[in-house]
Amino acid sequence: MAHGLLATAPVNAGAPEHGLFSTQLGTTGPRVVFLHGLFGQGKNWNTIAKALSESARVMLVDLPNHGQSAWTDHFSYPEMAGRVAGLLKAQGEGERYAVVGHSMGGKVAMTLALHEPELVERLCVVDVSPVTTAEITDFDTFFHGMRAIDLETLTDRRDADSQLATYVRDPSIRGFLLQNLRRDNSASNGWRWQMNLAMLGDHLDEMSDWPDLEARPYEGPVLWLAGAESPYVQPEYAAAMRAHFPRVQLVTIKGAGHWVHSEQPQVFLAIMRRFLRL
């Protein structure tokens, strides 16, 4: 899809058979796929992807129910990983990927590596663990705030930000969440949520859980990145991580919370280059 294009020129590719939208950058080097977290989109990785695209072929995926990808009526990590596997297999037989996943996308990436190890040359799991994390998230509050915004009377994005501020004090997080708010002339008042807000909000428990995959351990190299100020990677989670990924290496990034790659982008990029051997 990106063959013959400049490394910095993205190619947008809808994949109806998998229901996934993807963007590709770069024409040479190892294949790398980035999977975003809850409320995110593939484009959240743009800065990192553009920097890597000079020496790698990078794919940014909108996961199901997010961005421009198709919606579903339920939540399932194995099904999400299956859709990503279908997208990757469509790129060419025998291709292998370095898979990088953050938060929810990290759980999708881990599931993909365990179920389809032949697709995954190496794995990077960013600030999430193969455990249940419901008790440490603020995501329920984020959902309540987003669903409380009255789209029928909404005047503009400033109005949306003001309404959301009642639930979410951090303006940078509000800005991130409101990336999902779209103008749409077909909607009754011209506004809609691009992500499947209702379904995802109703299935937050499943999202916070870790499924029993009954899979053999993944034997490839695994980098486990943690934000030093985030609660998602704890010493007591290491046994579960090693059970699934025996070749895991933990790296903790100082000055970073849950959104490691946006809070410490230069450090994250340097670690990615080493991990990808670029």
Q: Check if the beta carbon of residue 31 is closer than 8 Å to that of residue 95.
A: yes
pLDDT value at residue 18? 67
Does residue 158 share a domain with residue 272?
no
Q: Residue 135 above 80 pLDDT?
A: no
Q: How far is the C-alpha of 180 from the C-alpha of 41, rounded, in Å?
A: 9
Confidence of residue 136 (pLDDT cuts 50, 70, 90): low
Range of the domain at 172: 136-202
Q: What is the mean predicted confidence (pLDDT) over 41-60?
A: 97
Q: What is the mean predicted confidence (pLDDT) over 114-141?
A: 92
Does residue 239 share a domain with residue 148?
no
Does residue 115 share a domain with residue 38?
yes
- Indicate whether 208 belongs to any domain: no
Does residue 149 share a domain with residue 101?
no
Count up the domains in the chain and report the number.
2
Strand partners, 102: 126
Strand partners, 13: 22
- Indicate whether 5 belongs to any domain: no
Does residue 238 share a domain with residue 143?
no
Edge-to-edge strand order for the sheet containing 31-35?
Answer: 11-15, 20-25, 57-62, 31-35, 97-102, 120-126, 222-227, 248-253
Domain end marker among 164, 179, 202: 202
Does residue 195 share a domain with residue 70?
no
Domain end marker among 152, 179, 202: 202
Does residue 69 share a domain with residue 47?
yes
Which has more pLDDT, 17 or 95? 95
Does residue 63 share a domain with residue 102?
yes
Confidence of residue 8 (pLDDT cuts 50, 70, 90): very low
- Indicate whether 1 belongs to any domain: no
Q: Residue 10 above 80 pLDDT?
A: no
Does residue 170 share a domain with residue 126?
no
Q: Number of C-alpha atoms within 13 angstroms, CB side, residue 276?
A: 28
Confidence of residue 5 (pLDDT cuts 50, 70, 90): very low
Does residue 31 share a domain with residue 108?
yes
pLDDT value at residue 116? 97
Q: Residue 251 above 50 pLDDT?
A: yes
**Which CATH number characterizes residue 17's domain?**
3.40.50.1820
pLDDT value at residue 187? 63
Q: Residue 3 above 60 pLDDT?
A: no
Does residue 114 share a domain with residue 222?
yes
- Indicate whether 207 belongs to any domain: no
Does residue 39 share a domain with residue 140?
no
For the stretch 178-232, pLDDT in tens is 999 998 877 667 899 999 999 999 999 999 999 989 899 999 999 999 999 999 9
